[in-house]
Structure 1
């Protein structure tokens, strides 16, 4: 039941993201950087479940559009720290608000108790590591 629902929700997000000029991976990057700057594209890729070589064009595009910045890492001048810009934060917030409005329509179909139970269950399950579920790390997952 989860996989078809997840695919449907991602399909519903695509027009919203397109409206904000974002791809699914670009949105994942902006959400990932919400926790604070990332020490390198490899670290960020791992955090969001992306392939570090495939994320480079996404990062290049976001930087070119002024949504993220790459600056030298003070601890290692060969590395770059990735961070959201104010414009990137605004775009991310607008896209996230529109996506949450769509989610709200879906969640309104549930009673208050069912909704609370679903959200509590999702919070608990989202903290389980991929390795714990799968038993091994078999590469990146889609956002």
Structure 2
């Protein structure tokens, strides 16, 4: 009987485990945000939060920050604009670029959602003690930083 090495079955491979973590993360996010009375997706939240920290950024810059291609981000921004949370206007410096900003409603929604999203972070990784949690964050940050560097700029 050969003993299987960890990571050799498809269910123990990094790709599968990352996909499962994404499912858990998305499920927890949606349930908590919906319970708080909001209809915001994780990528919409990421865009709102990035805009709060980078006012008047253009769509290309925001796409890079939230790791989405410009076309996908365009759809996300369209939905946020329809909800009255984001304002898109033509850049005075470059007529081809769109400058983005949170509306007052966007700032209010983000302020109300931040504590909800912060509180759910530990629930995404249940069973980890504080050291394991910090180690997971460090490893995940390292891997995503390396992957981002290899990808190059957003299309």
- Unaligned 5+ residue runs, structure 1? none
Aligned pairs for 1:126-141 (under 5 A) are 128=142, 130=144, 132-133=146-147, 136-137=150-151
Q: In the alignment, does 2:59 pair up with 1:44?
A: no
Distance of 1:63 and 1:15 partners within structure 2:
23
Q: Following superposition, which runs of at least 4 residues in structure 1 exceed 6 angstroms of deviation? A: 105-110
Are the structure 2 counterparts of residues 17 and 52 from structure 1 closer, same or farther at C-alpha, using a change threshold of 3 Å? farther
Are the structure 2 counterparts of residues 134 and 34 from structure 1 closer, same or farther at C-alpha, using a change threshold of 3 Å? closer
Task: Using the TM superposition, give the Cα deviation of residue 132 of structure 1 relative to its aligned residue in structure 2, in angstroms.
Answer: 2.2
Are the structure 2 counterparts of residues 135 and 94 from structure 1 closer, same or farther at C-alpha, using a change threshold of 3 Å? closer
Q: TM-score, normalization: structure 2?
A: 0.66
User: Comparing both structures, which one devotes a greater share of its residues to strand?
Assistant: 1
Aligned pairs for 1:45-64 (under 5 A) are 45-64=63-82
Q: In the alignment, does 2:108 pair up with 1:94?
A: no
Cα deviation, 1:64-103, whole Å, max 9, x if unaligned, reads 2221111232321332211112211221222221222333
| Number of aligned residues | 136
**Deviates most, 126-135 or 7-16:** 126-135
Question: Higher Cα Rg: structure 1 or 2?
Answer: 2
Distance of 2:87 and 2:108 partners within structure 1:
14
Task: Using the TM superposition, give the Cα deviation of residue 10 of structure 1 relative to its aligned residue in structure 2, in angstroms.
Answer: 2.2
Match of 1:7 in 2: 23
Q: TM-score, normalization: structure 1?
A: 0.71
Q: Is the 8 A contact 2:64 2:153 kept in 1?
A: no
Distance of 2:115 and 2:52 partners within structure 1:
14
Match for residue 46 of structure 2 among 28, 31, 36: 28
Distance of 1:85 and 1:31 partners within structure 2:
12
Q: Secondary structure at the match of 2:99?
A: strand
Match for residue 67 of structure 1 among 70, 85, 109: 85
Cα deviation, 1:21-75, whole Å, max 9, x if unaligned, reads 2122211211221212253222211110112112222211211222111123232
